[in-house]
A and B are shown apart, each in its own frame.
Chain A
Amino acid sequence: MNWRVLSIGAVVTLPLVALLASGFGRDPKLRSNALEGRQAPAFSLKTLSGEPFSLASVKGKPVVLNFWSTWCQPCKIEHPVLMGAAESYGPAGVQFVAVLYQDEPAKAQAFLNRSGAHWPTLADPGGRTAIAYGVAGVPETFFIDKDGRIVRKVSGPVSQAIMVTTLEQML
């Protein structure tokens, strides 16, 4: 037994295996929750029907800000959750806002007409607002509290459970 070879081999290989093993169970999807706990970036956009909407105009209300597009399948899975939450928490003062991400307004309007959602859906020319929020894919949802602070960011579809617990905390 050549002990030098053995020890060099062990030093090279064991940490590598340990590292790869610890990679399991981690979600390699890039997260961008850098904004959590910070003031929500302001924006002033127009809805698909052309009316102006700014974050400042709903100050004092908790806001659920959802980035989505019609070409994203998970967004369609998420849609009923948003519909349900808007129905039950809208009257309680929660403002639901959607921002269209890299999509054609006409397609989005057609989709919304079919689903019957009635929260403001904003066009985002040049994707500026999405960049200001560090959106790295859709859907992404930001929960903004009454003081305009981002309390939580969810990448991927929001589940019913997360929606409810987060909104209860914010109210």
Chain B
Amino acid sequence: MKVAFPYLGYDTIALKKFVELLGAESCLGPPLTARTLSLGTKYSPELICLPFKITLGNFIEALEAGADTLLMAAGARKCRFGYYHYLQENILKKIDNRHCFYAISQYTPYEFFFKKMPQIFGVTPQKVIYATWLLLHYSALIDYFRKLIRLTRAYNFYDAQKKELEALRIIENVSSFKEVQKAKKELRKIFSPIINTSNEIIRIGLVGEIYLMLEPFANYEIEKELGKLGVLVVSKRSLYRHLKHLLKLDLFDLRTISNAYKYLKDSPGGEAIKTVGEAHIFAKKNIDGIIHIYPFTCMPENIAYEALQKLARDYEIPILSISIDEHTSKTGLLTRLEAFVEVVKRKKFKG
């Protein structure tokens, strides 16, 4: 069984290990490129949002590479994301009919542990629970790694590039709970020499839609580009937090929602409430600016956009909202980022 799932930035490593732990081989296809996007766009409906197009292109390329089982997250609620799999299943069936497509609902943990996963992989529920527990630790490790690399990039970008490869090699070799702890120590050792804490750096909070925030291909490597400009990116979104949120283990959730309440009295679906809540926390914590990224025509994030405009006026904090689709050019995006960083810098150091 060759299993494919959409790429998810650095967290792909954790998901890959999860699948391999369940006794399947992972076959994700080549890394995401312009070809992935154009393939996805070709088969997608006209008005759909960007994550649909990228994940669809991703699946097509995985099928070309020989995958026979496709896994897609699901869970129909207010956001369009929960409905992706109905259309993708139909479209992929027309392209190649020798594969199995499984939609895995995010909001039914019981079904996930005891029915769906055991049925797909032919393993016992205990094994699934154990694998999920390890997945949580792997993703925590990657979350930690992302925190370190963001900090390093802000101070010494080219050094960070070198150390990133080294760190990723360590993470890829992890295969048990004990090794996760060991890898954490090693990561700290690798990144420690270049971490110094001076105040002469600007901090920009990154909020938005989760897929765009996690997958560097989808957000045109915005974190890296900001790091190149000497900005420390602060972000609360990761696969680790999302898993914790789904398993109802995340205490930070409550804080986010209570902070969002001033602007959104009810969740409009998706991650809008988190976007607004996190932005509010950032604004209170004196973060210098906020960048909000979301797919073009994303419904919940558009509501969040309106809330963020109000928040920007209330706290006098610069907010840049970037909606991304397949026509976004990287050069245009970079110009906007540079201008925004200049604005933030001028505001911070004007005295």
Co-complex (A, B): no
